[in-house]
Structure 1
């Protein structure tokens, strides 16, 4: 510790000499007092050495900060202000000058804290043409008036926010929000947030960006333009075996799509398209094998689709037209039944006619 203090004394003496020599080269016509550095900056919890010089006597310093003498001379004193944990602390220096006059000067220390963390709020799945908010949060930073927050999409600067009018010197959190409109080519664009605390020229420049895990990918959402259901004979060729097909036209993203088949009010099956990774609009056909029964004749089949992008937006839903179930086997069954009924009717009519003729002939 003693070695450190001797080092600081040597530094302060050198700085004081460099600052004071020009003053000694000219006549001392008036009293003066100087504090160096003139605009001191220090990190919160750090320390700083200040030099106080004057052509007066009895230089004294008043402050609420803890201080340790760091050197002195005939017309100067230096102090090491340790563990600065006040925001914008003031230091008053005064000295006794000729004719009973006192000289006073005050310096304000700017205390800073580099951004502790920079994060982006997760972006929702986006629908093309819709407006969304991008929110960046900078945590525990000071002074905010020296802060600049920039939102970027890839290499493109979306928004830059400065805080020159912010007067509170204490560290706090900052929230910056900017609205964007989702475009068709935004899929997998990286949205990033950059925070810069600029303490130059007296202090350093701190820069921090949102981490990779905060990068949010916007995805275009296209509700289906059309939903069509059809019934086709199964390729197995078995009787009463058919395929219900649901055609969903120009929809994205497919991975958020669920297709549900109904027969009347009976739900047959629901399928979520987990394995579809296409981000752009596409057509998709979902097939459900079905075994019809004669009793299904006249029932209606429908296809219901849900594009679920919750919780950020209400799901999109659409339903196909109603398709009346008419199987070829049903037609054949109806034809056979009709033929049987017609044959039976013909036999009955013949029997009636025969009976009438026979009965009439026998009565004669």
Structure 2
């Protein structure tokens, strides 16, 4: 727009937004669920419509038009409502949409199997198995030892839009004081303010810590001969506060 002020010319730039309104302007939809969003306008136009890989419409001379799907089964979808105003060029508004899924159950295990038996001083991976989750970049996994949070994992740097199976790991090297410890993992997905907040916890994973093998040697003299006395100790369970005295077998040898 140009205005004359005496001998001066002043140029004023006016940036008008697209004269359509989406209701709601953003949505979070569970994969496979229905979805419906309304697009409306109050200006004169030569057609309004939706562009989408599924559920798109042609241009219609109405003041409101809905984009509707009975079952949303497309992970990467970007619907847009467009309008052909009577006094300007075509413009559009993109719908902000998040397609999600979240498991009802998650599981916890370790690289040593599911029986929870570990040897002190050896490193293990405790694994949280989270199936069929999306978008994974909204996932937070919290690790508990007893009632205390010892680690949190996030996936903000991932760009997957489809569902994935997430398997975050906790590296752990047990000591004898850890025998009887209880571990669990908790998966959280926060889609607020446009969607829900999910939270699910695994069952507890109890560990039993076994002490390392201990071999003690001593030399004693009997009738002028040297003998070696070897105590072969079986791997015992470690008590939570102190090492229990294991049974031993004596082996005599020259």
Q: Same fold (TM over 0.5)?
A: yes
State how 1:50-199 maps to structure 2 within 5 Å.
50-56=37-43, 57=45, 58-66=47-55, 75-99=63-87, 101-122=89-110, 124=112, 125-199=117-191
Q: Number of aligned pairs?
A: 217
Question: C-alpha distance in 1, partners of 2:212/2:234?
Answer: 7
Q: Is the 8 A contact 2:234 2:248 kept in 1?
A: no
Structure-1 residue corresponding to 2:213 = 223
Q: Is the 8 A contact 2:37 2:68 kept in 1?
A: yes
Q: Structure 2: where are the runs of 5+ without partners?
A: 1-15, 219-229
Question: C-alpha distance in 2, partners of 1:173/1:31?
Answer: 40
Q: Secondary structure at the residue paired with 2:195?
A: coil
What is the Cα-based RMSD across aligned positions, in Å? Answer: 3.1
Which structure has the higher relative contact order (CA within 8 Å, separation 6+)?
A: 2
Question: C-alpha distance in 1, partners of 2:235/2:49?
Answer: 78
Q: Is the 8 A contact 2:213 2:233 kept in 1?
A: no
Q: Is the 8 A contact 2:34 2:70 kept in 1?
A: yes
Larger radius of gyration: 1
Q: Is the 8 A contact 2:55 2:67 kept in 1?
A: no
* TM-score, normalised with respect to structure 1: 0.53
* Structure with the bigger percentage of helix: 1
For each residue in 1:95-134, what CA deviation from the matched residue of structure 2 results, as whole angstroms up to 9, or x when unmatched? 1212352221222421000125422223633222332222
Structure-2 residue corresponding to 1:40 = 27
For each residue in 1:202-254, what CA deviation from the matched residue of structure 2 results, as whole angstroms up to 9, or x when unmatched? 11111122235xx24131323234379xxxxxxxxxxxxxxxxx966695139
Q: Is the 8 A contact 2:48 2:62 kept in 1?
A: no
**Alpha-carbon distance, 1:280 to partner:** 4.1
Question: C-alpha distance in 2, partners of 1:139/1:40?
Answer: 23
Q: Structure 1: where are the runs of 5+ without partners?
A: 1-28, 229-245, 255-278, 287-302, 304-319, 324-364
* TM-score, normalised with respect to structure 2: 0.73
